[in-house]
């Protein structure tokens, strides 16, 4: 079943599809009574014909209805229109963790923050006797407010506090009998793979696999087939996270190992304990960057510094002993002429130099074919050939208004009073937001773009996939505009120019964070 735009389900007007899974189709919709955006999950006719799946769908509604937590998707309503059963849930703008992982591992600070959010949400669910049983990256939405758990379609109830009592057996499901495997293989606990009853500690195992994947960019258990993955879950131990991510704290590696213990009794016994441990890691990790440290952390850092100094001294002695005659270096000059049959804008060329891609392999710049409009061009640094990107006509000449995506696969630019993005693999530009008098943009690893939509105003943020923009800075006294943002390497803080007069006298370079709007001058 596919619902067309403007279809009505009672008071809800369908706006478009959001996704689909084995247990339902999800649509973006508008509640015409309250004029708010919601997400509607419907039970397709083919699924509704199966009484077991229909019962799971209704059980999801009952499960969510018992839960109230900022990191669990809220249920607004349930309904039945013309034989179509549906759930009305909170609409969460953002991207799934599965989509984020396509870009590679996450920064350690993000890993522990997301992990703590999810552990707190699981703790709240487990205390109500609800076990999710299908926790995986595609069931986690990343938003500006943190990580949120979705889809309780495979959830099961246990007897209240029994979900938190490891000494008690898991209560049987009313739909899925022991011996039937439910869930997604890569994130299942060993007891689920073996078809045994699972309690809250199965969710903790699943969260451990996600922490491992967020940190390393690799799944904890892999194989050429489903059977080999299940065999790995039951009998294999994943490599230490430090092998793939040297910056992973040893404390985080310990936490994940305990999550992934084969025996449920050897795992963390509550998601609440796991959440507190992850928060402690977050605090000690941030404090090591300059805040006060406890005695144990200080001792570890002192030993690390001492070891590094010894290694450095040894290396310098070895270098001196085996010193080779110095090799004369050559000065390198780079000249980038305009493309054949094209020219740079008529402005001062210093104002529109090429912008190098993050991977260091390509450059993007503004140019035009003789007699044509300015547009965005791309050239590989190992080639003299350049190509114009179709659909980028009308881009302003300043290179500060052309910027790369972190993966070097897309370019953000301004044209026709709009902020747009274009993928180098092809396709038309995507309009992201209004920008009538733009003054620069920047793009971070989380898919967030910070840009100046106007010459005289604060900076805004918007998802690289589109959505409503929101202010991200505030003008202070005597400031007439913020412009030219540039993300710092952590992807959370950014620099920008604060304009204080038309001639830019006394203007400052300020720094701000996505987490908060106050900023300070550099």
HEC sequence for 12-77? EEEEEEEEEECCEEEEEEEECCCCEEEEEEECCHHHHCCHHHHHHHHHHHHHHHCCCCCCECCEEE
Quick one: tokens of 391? 């659909």
Whether residue 80 contacts residue 41, with contact meaning beta carbons closer than 8 Å, is answered with no
Whether 134 is catalytic is: yes
- Candidate list 134, 162, 203, 510, residue with the active-site label: 134
d(CA 167, CA 330): 71
**How far is it, in rounded angstroms, from Cα 499 to Cα 230?**
59
- Interatomic CA distance for residues 165 and 50, integer angstroms: 33
Asked if residue 81 lies in contact with residue 10, where contact means CB atoms within 8 angstroms, the answer is yes
What is d(CA 428, CA 438) in angstroms, rounded to the nearest whole number? 21
| Beta pairing partners, 342 | 369
Determine the Cα–Cα distance for residues 11 and 25; give it in Å rounded to an integer.
Answer: 18
How far apart are the C-alpha atoms of 510 and 522, rounded to whole Å? 6
CA distances from 218 to 101, 363, 438 (A): 9, 30, 39
Let me know: does 429 contact 418? Beta carbons within 8 Å.
no
- Alpha carbons 223 and 210: distance in angstroms, whole number: 17
> Cα(423)–Cα(427) distance, rounded to whole angstroms?
7
Return left, alpha or beta for 83; rule: phi > 0 is left, psi -120 to 50 is alpha, else beta.
left
Question: From CA 126, how far away is CA 160, in angstroms rounded?
Answer: 8
- Residue among 155, 185, 158 at smallest CA distance from 170: 158
Locus of tokens 């039945």: 80
Three-class SS state of 184: coil
Structure tokens at 121: 């949400």
CA atoms within 13 A on the CB side of 406: 19
What token pair was written down for 406? Answer: 């972190």
Any idea what the Cα angle at residue 21 is, between residues 35 and 209, rounded to 5°? 110
Contacts of 353 (CB under 8 A, 6+ apart): 365, 399
Rg of the chain over Cα atoms, rounded to whole angstroms, equals: 27
* Enzyme catalytic residues: 134
């Amino acid at each position: 079943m596919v619902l067309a735009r403007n279809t009505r389900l009672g008071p809800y007007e369908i706006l478009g599809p959001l996704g689909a899974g084995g247990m339902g189709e999800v649509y973006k919709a508008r509640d015409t009574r309250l004029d708010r955006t919601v997400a509607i999950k419907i039970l397709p006719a083919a699924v509704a014909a199966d009484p077991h799946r229909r019962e799971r769908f209704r059980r999801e509604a009952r499960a969510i209805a018992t839960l109230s937590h900022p990191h669990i998707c809220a249920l607004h309503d349930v309904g039945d229109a013309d034989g179509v059963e549906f759930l009305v849930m909170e609409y969460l703008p953002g991207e799934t963790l599965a989509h984020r992982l396509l870009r590679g591992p996450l920064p350690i600070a993000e890993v522990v923050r997301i992990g703590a959010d999810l552990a707190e949400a699981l703790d709240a669910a487990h205390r109500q006797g609800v076990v999710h049983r299908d926790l995986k990256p595609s069931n986690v939405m990343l938003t500006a407010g943190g990580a949120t758990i979705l889809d309780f379609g495979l959830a099961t109830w246990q007897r209240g506090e029994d979900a938190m009592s490891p000494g008690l057996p898991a209560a049987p499901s009313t739909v899925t009998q022991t011996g039937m495997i439910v869930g997604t293989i890569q994130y299942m606990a060993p007891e689920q793979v073996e078809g045994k009853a699972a309690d809250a500690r199965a969710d903790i195992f699943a969260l451990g696999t996600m922490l491992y994947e967020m940190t390393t960019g690799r799944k904890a258990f892999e194989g050429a087939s489903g059977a080999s993955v299940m065999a790995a879950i039951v009998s294999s131990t994943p490599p230490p996270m430090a092998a793939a991510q040297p910056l992973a704290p040893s404390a985080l590696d310990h936490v994940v190992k305990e999550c992934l213990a084969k025996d449920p009794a050897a795992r963390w016994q509550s998601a609440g304990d796991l959440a507190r441990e992850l928060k402690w890691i977050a605090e000690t990790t941030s404090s090591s960057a300059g805040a006060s440290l406890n005695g144990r952390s200080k001792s570890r850092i002192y030993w690390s510094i001492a070891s590094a100094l010894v290694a450095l001294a040894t290396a310098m002695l070895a270098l001196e002993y085996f010193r080779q005659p110095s090799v004369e270096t050559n000065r390198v000059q780079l000249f980038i002429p305009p493309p054949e049959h094209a020219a740079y804008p008529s402005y001062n060329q210093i104002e529109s130099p090429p912008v190098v891609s993050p991977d260091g392999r390509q450059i993007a710049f503004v140019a035009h074919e003789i007699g044509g409009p300015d547009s965005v061009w791309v050239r590989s640094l190992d080639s003299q050939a350049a190509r114009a990107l179709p659909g980028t006509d009308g881009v302003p000449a300043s290179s500060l208004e052309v910027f790369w995506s972190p993966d070097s696969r897309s370019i953000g630019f301004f044209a026709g009073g709009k902020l747009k993005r274009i993928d180098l693999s092809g396709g038309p530009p995507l309009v992201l937001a209004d920008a009538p008098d733009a003054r620069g943009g920047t793009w971070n690893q989380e898919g967030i773009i910070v840009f100046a939509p106007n010459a005289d105003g604060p900076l805004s943020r918007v998802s690289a996939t589109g959505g409503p923009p929101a202010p991200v800075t505030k003008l202070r006294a005597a400031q007439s505009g913020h412009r030219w943002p540039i993300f710092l390497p952590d992807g959370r803080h950014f620099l920008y120019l604060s304009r204080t007069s038309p001639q830019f006298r006394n203007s400052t370079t300020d720094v701000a964070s996505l987490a908060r709007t106050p900023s300070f001058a550099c």
